[in-house]
């Protein structure tokens, strides 16, 4: 039997195809630890998944570590990759225990905690907004010295769930309680160490930066423009790459992103860093995810803008190999875009408008519909189970990408059932 090198993916959602496709291109077999067993039909595993391990990594991390050590002893694997925020510490622990490429465990905890990231950035001399970390909602008054508007968010959240802007200091107490409740309740961050952050609002367009890190060396692969996201909730809708920004701003962003990796101790793997560009003061790092962002779709933005096979390279790195792009100079090969159809008011889905024929549009690379009529969607800041529809595209220019998104904003929408 031919044995292809094997990588364990922890919490990759099976309906997000990019990492699976990258593994197939790079010639890896995969073992999948699904995010939630419910999501997965074991009879219909995506290629090149050869087996699945159903483990409750949240309820029993030590048990999951042991099961992975046993798997390694029995069948072997070359690497292990975190595909969700929650998987990052587990994957670091397993990599260390098995001598595989991975983050050190302290770094894994830093990149899971927004207040630790803030402290590291500040200590490294990078700009940070004023912030306080609250260990209980009754401590909200400690944030009264901060300048409004403010943002209140869970310390260990992701996907902007439970993140709320506050304009009026009189609303701070109620919002801190609201976020605390969401964060400790259905987001599941309650218990020891439950923390909510309050920080000053950074006014300016948002970008995300997708990087690869190999043996401590950071390669910025794509800078994506997300545009103005004023809140009060921060649903991500539009991404365009390369970001239409002046070269000196891009250079400044790249410098800060490289410095943030050093500040956090991120020496290997793929990363997703988010920043805001404040007028006059330039980029501020919001946070970093030590994983491929967006459940994998950010691969499309990297690949279609730079030609770098981001998902395949991330897998090569975690298998201890040198990424192929390390020997290639940076290039711009096209304009890539992603549009996540906004949830809006939420409710029970009646139908989707504007999707017919979209897939046949020559600019459209892929339309991924992840929810169906009849399903219930709650509006932000509540957590989503999945983005209802994603549209990945390629364009001749950034202006054309922006115009295409404006067209989608007019034509594609979710109709909800009437109450």
Residues in contact with Ca ion by the rule CB under 5 A: 158, 274, 289, 364
Distance of alpha carbon 93 from alpha carbon 103, whole angstroms: 8
Taking a C-beta distance cutoff of 8 angstroms, is the pair 337, 405 a contact?
A: yes
Residues that bind ligand ADP (CB under 6 A): 114, 129, 151, 153, 157-161, 163, 199, 201-202, 206, 229, 234, 274, 276, 286-287
Q: CB-wise, 222 or 364, nearer to Ca ion? A: 364
Task: Kindly tell me which of 78 and 274 has the beta carbon lying closer to Ca ion.
Answer: 274
244 binds, among ligand ADP, Ca ion, none (CB under 5 to 8 A by kind): none
Q: How many residues are present in the chain?
A: 419
The residues pairing with 275 across neighbouring beta strands, listed in sequence order, are: 207, 285
Closest separation between CB of residue 393 and Ca ion, Å?
A: 9
| 275, two tokens | 């920043």
Selection from Ca ion, ligand ADP, none that 276 binds (CB < 5 to 8 A by kind) is ligand ADP
DSSP single-letter state for residue 192:
T
**176: which 2 tokens?**
């801190």
With CB under 5 to 8 Å by kind, the binding choice for 297 among Ca ion, ligand ADP, none is none
* Omega prior to 232 cis, within 30 of 0: yes
Structural tokens at position 2: 């031919």
CB 357 within 8 A of CB 389: no
Residue 163, binding choice from Ca ion, ligand ADP, none, Cβ under 5 to 8 Å by partner class: ligand ADP
Nearer to ligand ADP, 274 or 313 (CB): 274
Smallest distance, ligand ADP to C-beta of residue 108, A: 15
Tokens 């009026």: give the residue: 168
CA dist 78 and 318 (Å) reads 8
CB of 112 to Ca ion, least distance (A): 8
CA 280 to chain centre: 27
Q: Of 229 and 358, which CB lies nearer to ligand ADP in the complex structure?
A: 229
344 binds, among Ca ion, ligand ADP, none (CB under 5 to 8 A by kind): none
User: What is the token pair recorded at 354?
Assistant: 């504007």
- Residue 206 CB, shortest distance to ligand ADP, in Å, is 5
Are the C-beta atoms of residues 105 and 112 closer than 8 Å to each other? no
- Which of Ca ion, ligand ADP, none interacts with 364 (beta carbon under 5 to 8 A by kind)? Ca ion
Q: At closest approach, how far in Å is the CB of 235 from ligand ADP? A: 9
Closer CB to Ca ion, residue 171 or residue 363? 363
Grouping H, G, I as helix, E, B as strand and the rest as coil, residue 263 is: helix
Q: Which residue of the chain is nearest Ca ion when measured via CB?
A: 158
């Amino acid at each position: 039997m031919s044995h292809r090198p094997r990588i364990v993916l922890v919490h990759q959602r099976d309906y997000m195809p990019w990492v699976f496709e990258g593994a197939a291109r790079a010639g890896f077999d995969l073992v999948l630890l699904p995010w939630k067993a419910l999501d997965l039909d074991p009879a219909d595993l995506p290629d090149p998944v050869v087996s699945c391990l159903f483990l409750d990594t949240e309820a029993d991390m030590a048990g999951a570590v042991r099961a992975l050590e046993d798997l390694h002893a029995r069948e072997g694997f070359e690497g292990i990759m975190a595909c969700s925020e929650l998987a990052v510490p587990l994957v670091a622990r397993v990599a260390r225990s098995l001598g595989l490429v991975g983050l050190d465990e302290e770094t894994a905890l830093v990149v899971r905690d927004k207040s630790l990231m803030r402290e590291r950035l500040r200590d490294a001399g990078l700009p940070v907004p004023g912030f306080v970390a609250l260990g209980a909602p009754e401590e909200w008054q400690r944030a009264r010295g901060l300048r409004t508007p403010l943002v209140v968010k869970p310390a260990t959240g992701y996907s902007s769930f439970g993140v709320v802007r506050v304009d009026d200091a009189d609303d701070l107490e109620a919002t801190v309680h609201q976020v605390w409740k969401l964060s400790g309740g259905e987001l599941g961050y309650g218990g020891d160490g439950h923390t909510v952050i309050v920080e000053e609002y950074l006014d300016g367009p948002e970008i995300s930066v997708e990087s690869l890190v190999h043996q401590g060396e950071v390669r910025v692969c794509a800078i994506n423009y997300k545009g103005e996201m004023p809140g009060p909730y921060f649903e991500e809708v539009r991404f365009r790459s390369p970001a239409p920004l002046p070269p000196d701003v891009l250079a400044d962003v790249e410098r800060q992103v490289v410095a943030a990796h050093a500040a956090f101790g991120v020496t290997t793997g793929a990363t997703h860093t988010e920043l805001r560009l404040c007028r006059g003061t330039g980029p501020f790092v919001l946070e970093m995810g030590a994983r491929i962002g967006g459940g994998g779709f950010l691969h499309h933005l990297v690949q279609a803008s730079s030609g770098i096979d981001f998902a395949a390279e991330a897998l090569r790195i975690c298998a201890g190999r040198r990424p192929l792009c390390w020997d290639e100079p940076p290039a711009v090969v096209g304009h890539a875009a992603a549009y996540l159809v906004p949830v809006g008011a939420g409710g029970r889905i009646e139908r989707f408008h504007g999707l017919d024929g979209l897939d046949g549009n020559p600019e459209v690379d892929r339309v991924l519909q992840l929810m169906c009529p009849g399903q219930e969607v709650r509006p932000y800041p509540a957590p989503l189970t999945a983005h209802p529809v994603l549209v990945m595209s390629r364009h001749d220019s950034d202006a054309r990408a922006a115009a295409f998104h404006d067209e989608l904003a007019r034509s594609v929408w979710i109709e909800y059932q009437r109450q």
